[in-house]
Structure 1
Amino acid sequence: MNPAARFRALPLRSRLALLVTVAVALAVAAVTAVSWVMVRTQLRDQLDQSLRATNPNEQVLRRLNQGCASPPAQTQPDIAGNLNATVQILAADGSHCWVSGRTDLPVTQTDKDVAAGRLGRVLHDETTDDGVDMRVYTIPARAQPGGPLFAIAVAKPLADIDKPLSTLAWVLLLVSGIGVVGAGAAGLWVARTGLRPVDELTGAVEHIARTEDLTVRIPDEGDDEIARLSRSFNSMTAALASSQDRQAQLIADAGHELRTPLTSLRTNIELLAHSEETGRAIPPEDRKELLDSVKAQMTELAALIGDLQELSRPDAVSPGPLQVVALHEIAGAALSRARLRGPELSFSSALEPWYVRGEAAALERAVVNVLDNAVKFSPPGGAVEVTLRAGELTVRDHGPGIPDEDLPHVFERFWRSPSARALPGSGLGLSIVARTVARAGGSAELRAAAGGPGTEAVLRIPGAPTPPPPEPSVVPYQ
């Protein structure tokens, strides 16, 4: 397994802690390196400045007058002690004499060039025969005006700055190690603290997956991303719980509605079967009435099952593509079907052209359901008025009307007013109407008719009085 795969296999908090530790380690390393380089540069600059500040004193010049025949005895006092440095006099031919210090400095070409006058003052590094690194400042000098040119090399050991730098390096290394370890511990603590809401969310999800308990809620204090995620999760579980409750209610209501026609159907079929088994014939009139009842109950069951299938379909799922349809034509077709169901009623219509975007079959069923209600509640010989004007389809009947306290419930599933419970129907028609109109971007309303008894059903669907121009066909480029 490669390092990337091993890293992805780690828990999230371990990855966060590791990333924090690596980031802090890189930052500490960069700061440490920059600090060490800056201190080293500053110390070398100070050493160079101290070397540049040295000048040959009278004793050094007197030594120049004596020449460089031989170095003085070791017991001779340091004649350049005030310089706190190793001092050496040298000539252009490379000869040199020791003036001050505990070791001879090697003579380089740079020193000869300074003694010969080819170079001015020069700073450079040298290593003595016994392995001591020195910082050397070579300057030209004369014992007297017009005299021969010599060079004076003033040197100080680099150990003066290397030892503090070494100590500083160990201190920085120790502090950096403590900082990285502390950063790792802090990163792990921050990861655990920051991911605690995620752990709670994970636990809630696992609990729901294990028990299907949608009443679990997660604390969502604050306004950060975790709180927003918790609120979204709580909203999702609430919506799922509500959907589950509606599903259970739909099943319970459907079972209750199915029980009555099924019981009646079973009773009628048992009577017919008993007649066949016992050989006792049912009078033809009664047999015909039983068969008609069975057919009616089968038709009612088929309609109820169709309504349940329509309501069980999710709102986001469409049975067919949306297209521009003529609402006035749909209303006219639905009105023709309503005339067949209520031949004793008089129908009047005023349908202005109106084009909407929706599902033609679903819209026609919605209009048919509204007209069926008008036919159902209209008195014998009554009138039903249908108008379509500016996208508002109104169906008015002259029946007993709906009490004001029942109006808020007319679009609920399986809800039926006390006066309608004796009439055929499942209580799903207006629910389907409201759902279909809402899918087309409109709204449905049921209200008391103005100026007399009856009810007005109003469907408002956005559209236009003229159809939109057809979309141009795209011809592929040849």
Structure 2
Amino acid sequence: MKLRARLTLVAVAVTVAAIAIIIITAYRNVSPLVAAQVDRGLADRADTVLALLDTGAALPVRPDTTEQLLDADGTVRPLTPGRNPLPVNDSDREVARTGQGSTETNVDIGETAYGVLTTARPGGGAVMIGQNYAEVDRIDNEFLWRTAALTLVAVAAAALISWLAIGRILRPMRRLAHATQRITTTRDLSTVLPEAGNDEVGELTRDFNSMLAALRFSRAQQQRLVEDASHELRTPLTSVRGSAELLQRARGKLGPEDETQVLATLVQEAKALDALIAELVELATDQHTAESPAEVDLADLAQERAERSRRRTGRTITVHLENPATRTARPQALARCIDNLLDNAAKYSPLDTEIDLRVHACRLTVRDRGPGIDPAAQRAVFDRFYRADRTRATPGSGLGLAIVHDIVTAHGGTVFAANHPGGGAEVGFELPTSDRPSSLPPVSALGDDSAVR
């Protein structure tokens, strides 16, 4: 069953329940009032009959009542000729014999129900007044039939109004469903979902549009990554193939020095391919997205990564701390950022120079003593596979700073690159000055122009 029909049924059910509650409550409240009114009518008729008997005046006849006298000896004398006599019980005879009190009973005469009031008559005996309930039953039945008819009309009106109103409310949802079905069928992510209002459906539509925009961007970046990766892989593969073919053709004819050089080239290019593929895999699979955020002390993390880099490279790395901050972040992701920055600095710094790692609040900067960065390329160094002309001979894939860019951007931070006045380059990142929510967004390895120096 469709949502519109289900919601209409719910609305109708609520309407029926509300009407039923109102009718039952009203009926229960009115019934005692009707019964009380009937009792007062019997008492008033009895008073009238007693008064007229004392004066000897004629008793006016009512179509819904029967009156009779009950003597002290139990003799019944009708006061309304032509009417069936009212049945007499022991309670009635006791009232007539004592000439005191009154009693009320309900009896059936033929197929008609009567309410009977027996009240003592001054001087002895009693007067019995019987009122049939035919009119009361008629009014009661008419009330029930009219209520049922009005209920049916109200339910039909509620169903129609609910169906139309819910259809109008769900119209944006239907448009959204049709649009998403078209996207699912055609795989066309360029489809823009229809505009909606400011309600929950409108919010859902805007969220879907944002998701589609992210998917379009991701698809475009994936395509670009594949194109760039195929281009970058072609060079080392060509070198490996050429060296292998040379060895195949030579078949032992190369001199030892030449053969050693060719094998060294093979090993070097194989290592380059291995490093490039590893970074491509990390860039494309977002290895750190499953990592849970935690409190990260930037000072401790910087010192830890600096010590690791010293052991690996043997370089002198000096850490400067100025009011370092603690932030909620993915620890391993930030550690990878610092490792990449230190590796980048070690690559471009002469062996006998030191590397500076500085942490100031939420800003981390790594300075090398290399040739610096062309001002025109200071933004491009974060593009994937970017290699400046003067650094193309330097080992590397051009992906290290791309990974830094993606991770930092996912944490809501920014990256930067500049030349130091004293020489060399400064590359780093800055995290937000306040903690982001603990549910950090995924690290998009295909993010905005991510890359490397």
Asked whether the two chains share a fold, i.e. TM above 0.5, the reply is yes
Q: Which amino acid aligns with 1:406?
A: A
Match of 1:395 in 2: 366
String of CA shifts for 1:261-306, please: whole Å, max 9, x gaps. Answer: 2223223333333334xx9x44555444433332222121111011
Q: CA deviation at 1:186?
A: 3.8
Task: Specify which of 44, 59, 65 is matched with residue 80 of structure 1.
Answer: 59
CA distance in 2 between counterparts of 1:58 and 1:369 reads 116
TM-score by length of 1: 0.74
The answer as to 2:108 corresponding to 1:127 is yes
SS at match of 2:120: strand
Higher mean displacement: 161-170 or 33-42: 33-42
CA distance in 2 between counterparts of 1:53 and 1:458 reads 103
CA distance in 1 between counterparts of 2:313 and 2:69 reads 129
* C-alpha contact (below 8 Å) 1:398/1:455 kept by paired residues: yes
* C-alpha contact (below 8 Å) 2:302/2:338 kept by paired residues: no
Q: CA deviation at 1:99?
A: 1.1
CA distance in 2 between counterparts of 1:364 and 1:21 reads 61
Matches within 5 A, 1:37-436: 37-54=28-45, 55-56=48-49, 59-61=52-54, 79-81=58-60, 85-100=65-80, 102-103=82-83, 104-117=85-98, 120-128=101-109, 130-142=110-122, 148-276=123-251, 281-282=253-254, 285-314=257-286, 315-318=288-291, 327-339=302-314, 347=316, 349-350=318-319, 366-378=337-349, 383-388=353-358, 394-435=365-406
CA distance in 1 between counterparts of 2:201 and 2:28 reads 44
* C-alpha contact (below 8 Å) 2:243/2:266 kept by paired residues: yes
CA distance in 1 between counterparts of 2:107 and 2:149 reads 32
**Residue correspondences, number:** 422
The answer as to 2:390 corresponding to 1:452 is no
Change (3 A) 1:312 1:289: same
Q: Which amino acid aligns with 2:41?
A: S
Match of 2:436 in 1: none
Q: CA deviation at 1:361?
A: 8.0
Change (3 A) 1:108 1:62: farther
Identity %: 31
TM-score by length of 2: 0.77
* Structure showing greater Rg: 1
Q: Which amino acid aligns with 1:135?
A: G
CA distance in 1 between counterparts of 2:422 and 2:10 reads 78
* C-alpha contact (below 8 Å) 1:133/1:158 kept by paired residues: yes
* C-alpha contact (below 8 Å) 2:99/2:120 kept by paired residues: no
Change (3 A) 1:316 1:373: closer
Q: CA deviation at 1:444?
A: 5.1
Instruction: Give the alignment's Cα RMSD to 1 decimal.
Output: 3.9
Task: Specify which of 3, 8, 11 is matched with residue 12 of structure 1.
Answer: 3
Q: CA deviation at 1:406?
A: 2.9
CA distance in 2 between counterparts of 1:169 and 1:289 reads 107
Change (3 A) 1:200 1:87: same
CA distance in 2 between counterparts of 1:100 and 1:359 reads 102
SS at match of 2:188: coil
SS at match of 2:78: strand
CA distance in 2 between counterparts of 1:319 and 1:151 reads 95
* C-alpha contact (below 8 Å) 2:305/2:339 kept by paired residues: no
Which runs of 5 or more residues in structure 2 are unaligned?
433-453
String of CA shifts for 1:302-338, please: whole Å, max 9, x gaps. Answer: 1101111221232422499999976424313313544
String of CA shifts for 1:105-139, please: whole Å, max 9, x gaps. Answer: 222333223323475244432333x3332233332
* C-alpha contact (below 8 Å) 2:119/2:128 kept by paired residues: yes
SS at match of 2:248: helix
Change (3 A) 1:109 1:375: same
Match of 2:435 in 1: none
CA distance in 2 between counterparts of 1:461 and 1:187 reads 52
CA distance in 2 between counterparts of 1:364 and 1:154 reads 103
CA distance in 1 between counterparts of 2:411 and 2:171 reads 45
Change (3 A) 1:22 1:283: same
* C-alpha contact (below 8 Å) 1:330/1:363 kept by paired residues: no
CA distance in 2 between counterparts of 1:395 and 1:58 reads 118
Change (3 A) 1:137 1:32: same
Match of 1:32 in 2: 23
Match of 1:468 in 2: none
Change (3 A) 1:122 1:218: farther
SS at match of 1:410: helix
Change (3 A) 1:458 1:169: closer
Which runs of 5 or more residues in structure 1 are unaligned?
1-9, 64-77, 143-147, 341-346, 463-478
CA distance in 1 between counterparts of 2:418 and 2:200 reads 46
* C-alpha contact (below 8 Å) 2:67/2:129 kept by paired residues: yes
Q: CA deviation at 1:80?
A: 1.0
SS at match of 1:265: helix
CA distance in 1 between counterparts of 2:296 and 2:319 reads 24
SS at match of 1:149: coil
Change (3 A) 1:366 1:157: closer
CA distance in 2 between counterparts of 1:361 and 1:134 reads 93
* C-alpha contact (below 8 Å) 2:295/2:329 kept by paired residues: yes
CA distance in 2 between counterparts of 1:412 and 1:139 reads 109
SS at match of 1:163: helix
CA distance in 1 between counterparts of 2:359 and 2:16 reads 75
CA distance in 2 between counterparts of 1:320 and 1:29 reads 55
